Amino acid sequence: MITQIVLGIDIGGTNADFAFIDREGIILYKANLPSDEYNTANSFVQLVKRMAEEAMTKLKKQLVIRGIGIGAPNGNYYRGTIEFAPNMRWEGIIPLAEYFRMAFGVPSFLTNDANAAAIGERMFGNAKNVDDFIMITLGTGLGSGIVSNGRLIYGHDGFAGELGHVIVKENGRKCGCGRRGCLETYASVTGLKRTVVKLLKTGEFTSELEGLNFNQLSGKMVEKAALNGDELALEAFAKTGKVLGKAMANAVAFSSPKLIVFFGGLAQAGELIIKPTKYEMEKSMLRIYQNKIPIIASGLKGNEAALLGAAALAWKELGIV
C-alpha cells in the first residue's frame, strides 16, 4: 500500500528538523540537521534530499512525497523566501521554497514559524475547526499567526502578524529590530529574563535567582523558581502577563477571535503566564469582548508543533485536507 506524505521542515538559526508526515499528522520519520554549517541554502537542500532518500529506502512502507512545507524565521509566504533573517547564516533573500521544489520536483510552500504553528494548531491541535483565533508563540521573541474567516492573515505582502513588534511602551526596552518598547522585549522568554534581572537589581526581593545574570538565567529556571513560590519569579510572571494581557486586549479589538493560543518556551509555564495575562486582558477589554475569549496552551508537543505546522501548510496548499 502506498502512503502519501509531505515533508515538513522547521528551520531555525542553528538547527533544522524535517519529518515525513501523513494526512492525519502522524510523524513517520524525523531527523535533525544543522542549518548553520553550510555556506549556501542550496547545499542545505541537497543534504535534506540525501537524508530523505536514505530514510525512504530504509522505511518498510511505500511512501510518496506529495509536497513540502517549510516554516522559517522571516519566511515570506507569497514569495516562498526567507528575507533578511537576523539569526541565520543565509543572508539576504533566499528563495528556499523554489530550491526545494527543484530538488524534489514537488510543490513547496514556505511561511514564517508562527504562521506555521497557527496552521498546525488549526489542523492538528487545540484550534481544530476554529475560524478566528490568534496564535502567539512565546520563545526568544514573540511571534503571531492570526487566523480570520478561516484563513491566515498574510497581508498584502506576506508580512502580517508581527505582534511582537507592536509598541507597548514609548521609549521602552531596546528591541532587536532597532526600535524601543516592542511587545517582545517584555513578553517572551527574553523579556521575562530582562524583567527578572531588573527586579533583582531593585533588591526588594529575596530570591533563589539572586546572583545570576542575564546569560546565566533561563526561562525554565524562572518557571521553576515561581513554582517553588519564589516571590521575585512570581512578580516577573505577573509583570510579563500584565504587558501581554494589555496587548492581547488590543489584538482582540482588531480581530475578535474565538480563542487565543499560547505556544513556545514561555507558554510551557502554563497558568503562571496565562493567569496574569488573562486577568489583565479581561480588565482592559471592551465589555462586548469580556468573558468569552479563552487563552489556552497549544495542543501540539513542543518539538513537533513547528514540523506539524509546516506539514499542515503543505497539505492545505495542496488542497488535500
Residues 218-257, one symbol each (x = binds its own copies by CB under 8 A, - = not), give ----------------------------x--xxx-xxxxx
Query: What is the secondary structure of 238-285 as a DSSP string?
Result: HHHHHHHHHHHHHHHHHH--SEEEEESGGGGGTHHHHHHHHHHHHHHS
Strands 259-263 and 133-138: parallel
Residue 162 touches its own copies, criterion: CB under 8 A = yes
What are the distances in angstroms from CA 278 to CA 228, 263, 268? Answer: 22, 15, 16
Among residues 55, 153, 197, 318, the one that binds its own copies under rule CB under 8 A: 153
Question: Shortest gap between Cβ of 160 and its own copies (angstroms)?
Answer: 4
Contact between 93 and its own copies (CB under 8 A)?
Answer: no
Among 258, 275, 279, 282, binds its own copies (CB under 8 A): 258
C-alpha cell at 305: 508543533
Please identify, using beta-carbon distances, which residue of 62 and 129 lies nearer to its own copies. Answer: 129
Q: Which is nearer to its own copies, 155 or 270 (CB)?
A: 155
Q: Which range, of 44-52, 142-150, 187-195, 270-278, touches its own copies by CB under 8 A?
A: 142-150
**Residue 102 Cβ vs its own copies, minimum distance, rounded to whole Å:** 27
β strands within the chain, DSSP E: 2-11, 15-21, 27-34, 62-72, 75-76, 81-83, 93-94, 108-112, 133-138, 142-148, 151-152, 259-263, 295-297
Residue 132 touching its own copies (CB under 8 A): yes
DSSP letters, 184-226, are: GGTSSHHHHHHHHHHHHHHT----TTTT--TTT--HHHHHHHH
- Check binding of 148 to its own copies (CB under 8 A): yes
For its own copies, the closer CB: 149 or 213: 149
The answer to whether 157 contacts its own copies (rule: CB under 8 A) is: yes
- List interacting residues with its own copies (CB under 8 A): 83, 130-132, 146, 148-149, 151, 153-163, 165-167, 177-179, 246, 249-251, 253-258, 284, 286-289, 292
